[in-house]
Amino acid sequence: MEATFEQEPLLNPKKTLTDVNIDVCKPMERLPSRSWFVCFAIAASLTVFGLCLFVHQLRTGMGVWGLNNPVGWGIDITNFVFWIGIGHAGTLISAILFLFRQKWRTSINRSAEAMTIFAVMTAGLFPIIHLGRNWLFFWLLPFPNTRGSLWVNFRSPLLWDVFAVSTYFTISLVFWYLGLIPDFASIRDKAKHKVRKLVYGVLALGWQGKQSHWNHYEIAYLILAGLSTPLVLSVHSIVSFDFATSVLPGWHTTIFPPYFVAGAIFSGFAMVVTLLVIVRKVFQLEDYITMVHLENMNKIILATGLMVGYAYGSEFFTAWYSGNIYEMFTFKNRALGPYAWAYWTMITSNVIVPQLFWFRRFRRSIPVMFVISLIVNIGMWFERFTIIVTSLHRDFLPSSWDMYIPRWVDWGYTLFSFGFFFTFFLLFCRFFPTIAMSEVKSTMHVGRKTPETEEFVF
């Protein structure tokens, strides 16, 4: 089909198929820069620090946390929900946009998928860390055991988390690796060092680029995209059931599943923008991760930010309309109570600041979008903190009210989570292609004028 209207190309029209392989493989073929080593050393140090905290917790007990009697969940579960949310954008970009044949996903899906894998890995650590007897974490898994008739409680939303997160991680990992196979083969064929050739040859699983290989690849990729799509909606919906199935004021509400899903996509895309702005600059990939990709992601951030803002308002309206004094008190306490600073940080970061993306010059400004993406992620962390703590620290009985004050261990685990995530992401940038070369090549003529017709071909 031909069209005569102007369309901005998805990548630099001067680039050739050979240029894609050279530019994407360049960061893997040269020694990392000093800045990479500095960032990796910081991330790895935070990871080791987190492991030391865990040993300290095992030796001392759960009292090292700042938790108390009413607030049994604090920063630990805040981080769990936060990182699960971060992992949503990768599957949405890879699966849903693929099913809708959105070509602009091709330059950003690989890094987004990697972000999903590492974010889910990070999130999965916190339920284990939070357990009272951490060494018995496998009791959460339903398997034949020597404990007789003692089985997990299948009615517990916490157990549903185990099923949902493990399924999400498995499908996302297979989906990510399948997309890497053609690129591994390209790196193998380009490699000059024997060890490098052997390693990427094993990872490529014998890929030769034959027609039969591509046929099987496309069928498998489509099936996995179809399997992944409902997980985008189901995983964070099930995480929201940790709260929505309780009787605690501020939690038992039917809006939580769509509210959490929209918030997850909101924070996930913000993290993708944060990472890709850095990656495209450091690895000189501006010709592949163009302003079209970044602007489209900023539009999604704006759209999901409006959904999140609507959810914030509807919660207050529902509490007022219900006439329930406990609900009204909880939301009044959120906005005007001792944790009002966290609530208004959330509102400012998630509702007010993203409105700048209504203006095209802000959507296309690298410094502006980078700062906004950071602010959004800060705001989404405070959203989870606000939901968890403000409902727990003042519930039905004033005699059981208490303040939750995070200790150095709580904040240390938060730093550990970022160190753990960035350790794996930096290794990914060093040894894996950050852009899906095979998919980018399939879009190289989208929106490009042909010399014969001088018209755009799609």
pLDDT of residue 445: 60
Q: Which two tokens stand for residue 174?
A: 């297979």
Highest mean pLDDT among 273-287, 372-386, 444-458 belongs to: 372-386
How far is 322 from 314, CA to CA, in rounded Å? Answer: 12
Write the CB contacts of 11 (distance below 8 Å, at least 6 apart in sequence).
107, 287, 288, 290, 440, 443, 444
* CATH class in words for 2-143+153-457: mainly alpha
Q: Residues with Cβ < 8 Å from 451, sequence gap 6 or more?
A: none
Out of 41-55, 101-115, 198-212, the most confident range is 41-55
Q: Centre a 10 Å sphere on the Cβ of residue 415 and count the other Cβ atoms it contains.
A: 15
149 has pLDDT over 50: yes
DSSP for 177-214, written as a single string: HHHHHHHHHHHHHH--SHHHHHHHHHHTTT----HHHH
On the question of pLDDT at 4 being above 50, the answer is no
| Cα–Cα distances in angstroms (integers) from residue 310 to residues 149, 297, 382, in the given order | 46, 20, 17
Report the pLDDT value the prediction gives residue 132, as an integer from 0 to 100: 81
Rounded mean pLDDT, 423-435: 92
For residue 452, what pLDDT is reported?
A: 39
pLDDT of residue 191: 83
Instruction: Over range 448-453, report the average pLDDT.
Output: 42
Distance CA 225, CA 360 (A): 32
pLDDT range class, residue 361, cuts 50, 70, 90: very high
- What are the residue boundaries of the structural domains of the chain, listed by start? 2-143+153-457
pLDDT of 102: 84
Residue 32 DSSP one-character state: P
- The better pLDDT of the pair 445, 442 is held by 442
Q: Contact, 282 vs 102, CB < 8 A? A: no
Is pLDDT above 60 for 331?
yes
Largest CA distance in the chain: 81
Mean pLDDT of 5-31: 78
- What's residue 446's pLDDT? 46
Identity of the amino acid at 237: S
pLDDT score recorded for residue 287: 85
80 within 8 A of 126, measured Cβ to Cβ: yes
pLDDT at 410 over 80: yes
In total, the chain counts a number of residues equal to 458
Q: What is the reported pTM?
A: 0.89
pLDDT for residue 454 is more than 50: no
| Percentage of the chain lying above the pLDDT 90 cut | 43
The pLDDT-based confidence of 5 (bands split at 50, 70, 90) is: very low
| pLDDT for res 275 | 93
Write b or e for each residue in 93-126: b if 16 or more Cβ atoms lie within 10 A of its Cβ, otherwise e.
bbbbbbeeeebbbbbbbbbbbbbbbbbbbbbbbb
Q: What does the pLDDT look like over 189-209, one tens digit per residue?
A: 888 888 888 999 999 998 898
Mean pLDDT over 25-41 rounds to 86
Q: At what angle do helices 75-86 and 211-244 cross, to 10 degrees?
A: 150
> Measured between alpha carbons, how far is 180 from 118 in angstroms, rounded to an integer?
16
Q: What's the whole-number mean pLDDT along residues 402-424?
A: 93
What is the separation, in whole angstroms, between the first and last Cα of the chain?
A: 6
* pLDDT tens digits for range 260-275: 999 999 999 999 999 9
Angle (nearest 5°) at CA 354 between 353 and 356:
85
Interatomic CA distance for residues 315 and 129, integer angstroms: 31
What pLDDT score was predicted for residue 456? 35
Asked whether the predicted pLDDT for residue 455 surpasses 50, the reply is: no
With contact defined as beta carbons under 8 Å apart, do 400 and 69 qualify? Answer: yes
Average pLDDT over residues 304-316: 93
Residue 32, pLDDT score: 82
DSSP secondary structure letters along 272-289: HHHHHHHHHHHTT-TTTS
In whole angstroms, what is the distance from residue 411 CA to residue 341 CA? 18
Name the burial class of residue 271, with classes exposed (0-12), middle (13-18) and buried (19+) by CB atoms within 10 angstroms of its CB.
Answer: buried
Q: What is the mean pLDDT of residues 239-251?
A: 89
Residue 351 banded pLDDT, cuts 50, 70, 90: very high
Grade residue 6 by pLDDT with cuts at 50, 70 and 90: low
CB neighbour burial string for 386-411, b if at least 16 within 10 angstroms, e if fewer: bbbbbbbbbbeeeeeeeebebeebbe
Q: Is the pLDDT of residue 327 over 80?
A: yes
Backbone angles phi, psi at 449, to 5 degrees: -75, 140
**Residue among 88, 86, 82, 438 nearest 228 (CA):** 88
Residue type, 396: F
CA distance 350 to 334: 16
Higher pLDDT, 301 or 398: 301
Tell me, what's the pLDDT at 420? 95
Point out which residues pair with 448 in neighbouring strands.
457
What pLDDT is attached to residue 235?
87
Dihedral sign of CA atoms 330, 348, 65, 73 in order: positive
11 in Cβ contact with 287 (< 8 Å) = yes
> For 366-393, what is each residue's pLDDT tens digit?
999 999 999 999 999 999 999 999 989 9
pLDDT of residue 26: 85
The mean predicted confidence, pLDDT, of the chain is 87
Of 6-15, 53-62, 186-195, the range with the highest mean pLDDT is 53-62
